[in-house]
Structure 1
Amino acid sequence: MSRFTPVDLSQYPISDVIEALDFESYLARDRATFTTRWEARRLVNPSLPAVDTLLLEPDPSSVVLEVGSLRETLLRGRINDRIRALTLAGAPGRALDHIGITYYRTPRRVITPATDTATAVMEDDETYRQRLALAPESWSTAGPVGAYLFWALSASGDVLDVAAYSEDEGVTLAPRIRVVILPRDGLTDPEKAALVVTVKQALSRDRLRPMGDLVTVEFATDLSFDVTAHLRIRQGASADIVKAEAEKRILQYCSGRLRWIGDDIEGPVWLIGRRMRQATIAAAALGTDANVVEVEIPDPATDVNAPHAGYTEAALAGVGEFDFEPLAPEITAHLFVAPRLGTVTVTHEIVAESWS
């Protein structure tokens, strides 16, 4: 009963190719080597000063060793970065373009068409990266769910999110496929109508999909919701900074973007059919900030776009049987809804708990 999702690149380990960078260990190694070689020199020339005076912080010898260790750290870091840039999960910018074209035959999308006065806006790295991870699904044409998602997303940069439903979700009878799209904000009604036509053409039977599939394309229903969170913050912490970071985490979760690689890097949008759990919103506000003691959500039992009570495993048990009938529209309605965040209000109080 869950949406198809491609491989989660956040689970792909991009380890340091050489080793974890450690400036202090390089410096300690170089100082030990310097000490050994210097003492060998002193055996030949006892008039040379003792090494303990040469390795004091202000001494030029110590500075030279630090410079050498720093250069080694930077060099190892550059090598790590260059090797990471050869992976789908770690490649940025032009390196990602190279992987996309040469290995997946998939160029970046143009998000906003170029005009005489404007420059085209290209698909961002993280959305492009995840679409490339989805690209192998397209090699079976529009048959598997992932193939429908890939080709619908690739039809236009104005497609923000896509879901494809069949008999498996209880919404249709085979061979009907319902493709649901969420357009980017700011499109006019004529542009939205044209977008539906574009996606339909991209999924046409003479180009991609199996002849037996009856495909319809429709828009998701927007569901606006607001978030209010109350933070209890430790005494001594900067309330403004803590609140700003909590709001940032809430926005990241509720915008439908998943975090893929590194801190503060967002992935593709996933909103259609998504259930926004109040407990998860509270957890997002809490994050890993030790300054936040507790997060309160006014109505924690009311999730946004929660499934109908009748949408259960038992209700779907007959999928594929000859006498199976699609579930009532109200039972599967949540699959066609896209929760859209409205306002975020974060309040706070300072509690007596402190680090002292």
Structure 2
Amino acid sequence: MPDWETALASTPDISFIDGRTIEDVKAEMVADYEAYMTAAEGKPYTLGRAAPHRMELYAAAAQIYQAMQYIDRGGKVNLLKYSYGGFLDNLALIKGPTRNPAAAASTTVRFTLSALRVSAVSIPAGTRVSMDGSVYFATDVYTEIPAGSRTADVTATCTTPGAAGNGYQPGELAILVDPVPYVASVQNITPTAGGTDAENDADFKERIYLAPGAYSTAGPEDAYRYHAMSYSSAVGDVETQSNQAAGTVDLVFILADGSDPGPEMIQGMLDHLSARLRRPMTDLVHVSAPQKVAYTIDVTYWINRSQAAQAVAIQQAVNQAVEDYKTWQRTIGRDINPSKLHEMMMKAGAKRLEIAAPVYTAVSKIKIAALEGEAVVRYGGLEDD
């Protein structure tokens, strides 16, 4: 669990209404009513369980308790542990961060002429390409195919922010929507990546927690993490490592969906971290996707015979546990840990396991475990308890 999550989880829970429940409010209102009636009549008064006045008090208690819930929420949204949505955006202003907006995917597009030309061919900024006419990418800047050359490469950004522009493989963006004279073909030469929705509350909370480390530019580790997370809401996990004797900072990151950043995202991150008022002059910053440490999954599991009626559901749950393990494992610097796979599959309903792979492997701070091939998950059948 990251430090910021540990810090928030270990912070004591707070109640601005002293933990009162609806039953507490009902009991207090009935007790107050009985006390007032006893004082007024001069003799003990007890309100019957089905008395109309008790029902009236209960109805009022529901409204009063609802108001108390608003009071409790009103206090909690001023605390990082509980805040959310627009409340979190306002709370963040105290420390400076603002929520990253939705980001558009990007790629590099290659334009190819039908034949060599004796003069340069202009490709206007905003020239659109597509795969099927549903999602469009527009070139970011004006470029030219020089005289005597047949191709030119230029970055292009999806015209619609969000994840819809992700995942187009090289060669799939092959339709030139806005014709350019003498251009015979077009295609993306890098996968499209980097598109994401607006930053979610959890990621925004992490940056708010890290914000104080950024007050002194990007020197400290937390400052580099903060500025890297601020680059785009498409950024997922970030880790840094520094060799100060050489003055270098190695920063690796993956995207929110667990995929590697493309060259456009890596260059954009480097430019973002290298801003004049952000990077110390003494730091040489290297940005990349994390190096891979390969692992495989080869496991056999059995189910209790007494659970035969639930066998199909358990098999589905076990398969999902394997998928969840693959997601859990894809965190920068996280050791390859078969014990976690064992724990997750057992919780899903397996009776016992034989795990041939993975084996425990230490992963350095700026590397990441990467599954090699497909996971092999065998169901061994039912076994006696």
Normalising by structure 1, what TM-score? 0.66
| Equivalent of 2:279 in 209, 216, 219 | 209
1:65-104 C-alpha deviation (Å, 9 max, x unpaired) = 222332333222221111111111211101111122x212
Q: Secondary structure of 1:180's partner? A: strand
1:296-331 C-alpha deviation (Å, 9 max, x unpaired) = 443288446x217xxxxxxxxxxxxxxxxxxxxxxx
Contact kept, 8 Å, 2:235 with 2:253, in 1: the verdict is yes
- Measured in 1, the distance between the counterparts of 2:333 and 2:79 equals 31
Question: Within the alignment, does 1:106 sit opposite 2:97 as a pair?
Answer: yes
- Measured in 2, the distance between the counterparts of 1:98 and 1:346 equals 51
Shift of 1:63: 1.7
Question: 1:85: which partner in 2?
Answer: 77
Question: Within the alignment, does 1:307 sit opposite 2:362 as a pair?
Answer: yes
Question: 1:277: which partner in 2?
Answer: 337
- Measured in 2, the distance between the counterparts of 1:59 and 1:199 equals 69
- Measured in 1, the distance between the counterparts of 2:71 and 2:251 equals 44
Question: Within the alignment, does 1:166 sit opposite 2:242 as a pair?
Answer: yes
Superposition map of 1:17-166 within 5 A:
17-43=16-42, 54-56=47-49, 58-100=50-92, 102-113=93-104, 116-117=159-160, 121-166=197-242
- Measured in 2, the distance between the counterparts of 1:303 and 1:130 equals 32
Question: 1:178: which partner in 2?
Answer: 250
Question: 1:327: which partner in 2?
Answer: none
- Measured in 2, the distance between the counterparts of 1:251 and 1:13 equals 33
- Measured in 2, the distance between the counterparts of 1:167 and 1:4 equals 23
> Is the alpha carbon distance of 1:88 and 1:138 closer, same or farther for their aligned partners in structure 2, counting shifts above 3 Å?
same
> Is the alpha carbon distance of 1:186 and 1:281 closer, same or farther for their aligned partners in structure 2, counting shifts above 3 Å?
closer
The structure with more helix, counted as a fraction of residues: 1
Contact kept, 8 Å, 2:102 with 2:197, in 1: the verdict is yes
Shift of 1:42: 4.7
Contact kept, 8 Å, 1:205 with 1:211, in 2: the verdict is no
Amino acid at match of 1:80: D
Q: Secondary structure of 1:210's partner? A: coil
Shift of 1:124: 0.6
Contact kept, 8 Å, 2:89 with 2:98, in 1: the verdict is yes
Question: Within the alignment, does 1:195 sit opposite 2:265 as a pair?
Answer: yes
- Measured in 1, the distance between the counterparts of 2:236 and 2:97 equals 18
Contact kept, 8 Å, 2:217 with 2:278, in 1: the verdict is yes
Question: 1:319: which partner in 2?
Answer: none
- Measured in 2, the distance between the counterparts of 1:138 and 1:247 equals 42
Amino acid at match of 2:362: P
Q: Secondary structure of 1:166's partner? A: strand
- Measured in 2, the distance between the counterparts of 1:28 and 1:137 equals 49
Q: Secondary structure of 1:182's partner? A: strand
- Measured in 2, the distance between the counterparts of 1:180 and 1:213 equals 16
> Is the alpha carbon distance of 1:127 and 1:240 closer, same or farther for their aligned partners in structure 2, counting shifts above 3 Å?
farther
Contact kept, 8 Å, 1:4 with 1:145, in 2: the verdict is no
Higher Rg of the two aligned structures: 2
> Is the alpha carbon distance of 1:299 and 1:346 closer, same or farther for their aligned partners in structure 2, counting shifts above 3 Å?
closer
Aligned length: 295
Normalising by structure 2, what TM-score? 0.62
- Measured in 2, the distance between the counterparts of 1:73 and 1:241 equals 41
Shift of 1:192: 1.1
Superposition map of 1:224-263 within 5 A:
226=297, 254-256=326-328
- Measured in 2, the distance between the counterparts of 1:33 and 1:105 equals 48
> Is the alpha carbon distance of 1:295 and 1:95 closer, same or farther for their aligned partners in structure 2, counting shifts above 3 Å?
farther
Aligned-pair Cα RMSD in Å: 4.2
Higher-RCO chain (CA-CA 8 Å, sequence separation at least 6): 1
> Is the alpha carbon distance of 1:4 and 1:242 closer, same or farther for their aligned partners in structure 2, counting shifts above 3 Å?
closer
> Is the alpha carbon distance of 1:234 and 1:339 closer, same or farther for their aligned partners in structure 2, counting shifts above 3 Å?
farther
